[in-house]
Amino acid sequence: MEPKKPPQDFTLRVRRYDPESGEAPYWDEHTIQLEPHRSVLEGLLQAKGRFDGSIGVRCSCKAAICGSCGVRVNGQPGLACHTHLGDALKTAKNGVIDVEPMGNMPVIKDLIVDMDAVHWKKIQRVTPWLLADDENMPEREHIVPKEAMVDVTQTMACIQCGACVSDCLSMEVDPLFIGPAALAKSYRFVGDPRDTQQAERLKDIAEDPHGMYSCTHCFKCIEACPKGVAPMSQIMRLRRRATGDHHIKDRNNGFNHEKAFVKNINKNGLLHENDLLADSFGGKLNPASGLFLAKSLPVITRALLRGKATLKVALLHPHKAPADVKRIFDTIENRDKRNEFNLYISGTDEDNAPNQPEEAPQNGAHAGQEATA
Amino acid sequence: MSKKVAYWPGCVSRGFTPELHGSMAKVAPLLDLELIELDRACCSGAGVIAEHNQELADTLNARTFAMAQQEIRNGADLMMNICSTCQGAHSESQERLDASAEYRAQVNETLKPDGLEYTAGISNKNFLWLLVEEIGLEALKSKVKRPLTDLKVGPFYGCYIVRPKSRIGIDDEHPRDTYLPLVIEALGGTVIDYAGSHKCCGFPIITMNTEASLAQAGRHLGDAKDADADCLVTPCPLCHLNLDLQQPLAAKAVGRKLDMPVLHLPQLVGLALGLSPKEIGLQRHVVKPTSVIDWTTSVVGSVG
């Protein structure tokens, strides 16, 4: 254990905004005094108590359980109560800790954003309750396999703080995107063996033009989540189930894109972009493919003129996958069951070793697991 | 000091952005870097194969690592990537493979018929990390022949080499998400700070939500333009596809002129190390790198 450090000065720069005032947002600075292991939330409350009672901040448990105090600290989304002042100082520019409201949601006042208008509306969008078989209810409790419930525990750790929604980069340009929190919630039920509507749920979010195929793999939500939920990994699980288990062919080319990509690597070892583009729209002869390629024609022509793509590479495919790549595909694709290794659930060998020394966990996923234990 | 690396160029650098692979080959000797190409390795899966079947992606990447380790046993110092996406997909597989001896054994079982085996703990770095951590900024600076004086460069990382921090190996000692400005400065250029540097180019959803994909590219290019950048530099060829190849469509999507040249990282290094725009393949870009060429001409003109 590190020895406790004495109180020190921290300067907080708080973004203030009251939409009803008609005034533009502005920054306010307050210097507070606390030990470095105390939280940014405690700093904000001290500033509110000592200097300016009008600072708007939402909070309740102060223990990373209730999910009320989501903010951005030095541009990174998270819980104010779960961020140490000392750590915040390390990422602060010029020694001043910036505290702002979360993004992608309208500000009600200062650090308080309208979760109803965005986050909760999206959560409701995915039918966030169990759709069990009401007509054939068991006499007593449902008996489910342990592994199936362990699989959904990661999504169950969500405390609805909105940190992932705040920084979703797809939502930044497409506010209709269902988003990371709601899609992770969707997996909570898609992965639950008691739910009778798994295929329907998947079809719904696969067909939505702003659904699960609008996630760009940017990892922002994984980085943002204070509880290790890794919403993007849940979105990947949804896609895996939609295409691999339910064979849902969606209008957004999600199914085609995945199949085309995998086929491409199996055949060539390397990616051939021309084939991938056409196959992602259902093959070269598919009207949708033609339409997209026609729209892209000026771009492709320019690429050809510039010598980026050559006809030889486009048509002859000089690179073929070595035989061992094909063999690996065959071995793994022919297994009875897909293997998935989730570090959040299994932990690392190091974590699981007996007589583990008392050290802080190494990464976010384990920190999350620890916090929910 | 010279370095020898087991080099994975990736697919796109030999497909739609051949100027990346080409410029890397030109720059390497100037940096005393010997490239041992892993030409039998295969696509990292770019996250899509992992989405389809995680074990498949991990096994294909373990195969690549095992090949790199053969080169390392033969004298290479480490493995190197020039694609952010490959780097991220590799790091994700490596995180799982290194975490569990049991899982690693299962994956190695599949590789066994070809005499390959992955041993935990390969050192696999992106060219950007290698520049800072292996070659060093001072050594890089000493090799500069034509400092990028007054060239205003906006960094664009690509998601896969900045998040998640723990997986990518970003910590107090290795602040890898701050390296691009350091490299731009070492080459003598001016760093442009703008909103999009660590955001997503939108490429992964270009066929699934084209509008949102192009809006992302257009927004970041526009932000860089507003911040007065002459060009962007990126270590990711997939970002390059959306930011350069698709820029005419991105400009339409956001309803403004962009005209923002986007350079691959080895191209920017090459320019400062004295290579000509043609040698590093700038003529192959869709957006004419006029501002960069003008800069080269004026500098060369003033020196000459």
Q: What is the pLDDT of residues A70-84, one digit of tens each?
A: 999 999 999 999 999
Domain finish residue from B69, B102, B126: B126
Q: Is residue B44 domain-shared with residue B13, that is, in the same domain?
A: yes
From 1.10.1060.10, 3.30.70.2740, 3.40.50.720, 3.40.50.2300, which CATH number describes the A116-248 domain?
1.10.1060.10
Size of interface A-B (CB pairs under 8 A): 211
Is B132 among the domain residues? no
> Exposed (0-12), middle (13-18) or buried (19+): which is A139, by Cβ within 10 Å?
exposed
- Mean pLDDT, residues A301-322 taken together: 61
- Residue B49 sits in the same domain as residue B163: no
In this prediction, residue A3 carries a pLDDT of 75
Question: How many CB atoms within 10 Å of residue B167?
Answer: 21
Angle between helical axes of B247-254 and B210-226 (0-180°, round to 10): 90
Q: By the CB < 8 Å criterion, does A176 face chain B?
A: no
My answer on whether B89 and B172 are in the same domain is no
Q: Are residues B150 and B267 in the same domain?
A: yes
Domain of B102, CATH number, reads: 1.20.1050.140
> B114 contacts in A (CB within 8 Å)?
324, 327
B270 lies in the same domain as B214: yes
Find chain A residues with C-beta within 8 A of B59's C-beta: 328, 332
Where in chain A do CATH 1.10.1060.10 domains reside?
Answer: 116-248
Q: Do A277 and B207 touch (CB under 8 A)?
A: yes
Q: What is the pLDDT of residue A354?
A: 82
Cα distance from A255 to chain B (closest Cα, Å)? 10
Q: State how far the Cα of B91 lies from the Cα of B169, in Å rounded to an integer.
A: 9
Residue B90 lies in a domain: yes
Note whether B296 and B206 are same-domain residues: yes
Q: Which of A217, A243, A261, A273 to mutate to test the interface with B (most CBs of B within 10 A)?
A: A217
CATH number, position B202: 3.40.50.11810
Mean pLDDT to the nearest integer, B116-139? 98
* Nearest-CA distance A191 → chain B (Å): 16
User: For the segment A214-266, what is each residue's pLDDT rounded down to a tens digit?
Assistant: 999 999 999 999 999 999 999 999 999 999 999 999 999 999 999 989 998 88
Please work out, in degrees rounded to the nearest 5, the angle formed at the alpha carbon of residue B278 by the alpha carbons of B277 and B281: 90
| A99 bridge partner residues | A14, A73
Closest alpha carbon within chain A to B254? A173
The percentage of chain A sitting over the pLDDT mark of 90, rounded to a whole number, equals: 70
Q: What is the mean pLDDT of residues B44-55?
A: 94
pLDDT band (50, 70, 90) for residue A363: very low
**Do B31 and B157 belong together in one domain?**
no
To the question of pTM greater than 0.80 for the whole model, the response is yes
Pick A8-113's CATH classification: 3.30.70.1450, 3.40.630.30, 3.10.20.30, 3.90.1150.10. Answer: 3.10.20.30
Give me the pLDDT at residue A297, please: 59
Structural domain boundaries, residue B114? 3-126
Chain A: nearest CA to B101, how far in angstroms?
7
Say what the pLDDT of residue A47 is. Answer: 98
Cβ A240–B14 below 8 Å, yes or no?
no
Domain tally for chain B?
A: 2
Clarify whether residues B96 and B192 are in a common domain. no
User: Which residues numbered 21-80 in A keep a CB inside 8 Å of some CB on B?
Assistant: none
- Same-domain status, B205 and B282: yes
CB contact under 8 A, A170 and B211: no
The answer to the question of residue B159 being in a domain is: yes
Q: Find, in chain B, the residue whose alpha carbon is nearest to that of A235.
A: B51
pLDDT tier at A368, thresholds 50, 70, 90: very low
Query: In angstroms, rounded to a whole number, what is the distance separating the alpha carbons of residues A234 and A259?
Result: 19
Kindly tell me the burial class for residue A119, based on how many C-beta atoms sit within 10 Å of its own C-beta (0-12, 13-18, 19 or more).
Answer: buried
Say yes or no for a CB contact (<8 Å) between B159 and A296: no
Start-end of CATH 3.10.20.30 domains in chain A = 8-113
Contacts of B302 (CB under 8 A, 6+ apart): none
Residue of A nearest to B165 (CA): A223
Rounded CA gap, A284 and A273, in Å? 13
Taking alpha carbons only, the member of B100, B135, B118, B104 closest to residue B30 is B135
Q: Averaged over B34-58, what is the pLDDT?
A: 94
Name which of A117-121, A266-270, A344-348, B113-117 the model is least confident about.
Answer: A266-270
Minimal Cβ distance to B212: which of A173, A217, A299 = A173
Cβ atoms < 10 Å from Cβ of B194: 21
Q: Cβ–Cβ of B207/A292 closer than 8 Å? A: yes
Residue B259 above 90 pLDDT?
yes
Contact B53 A362 (CB under 8 A): no
| Angstroms from B213 CA to nearest CA on chain A | 8
Q: Does residue B153 share a domain with residue B62?
A: no
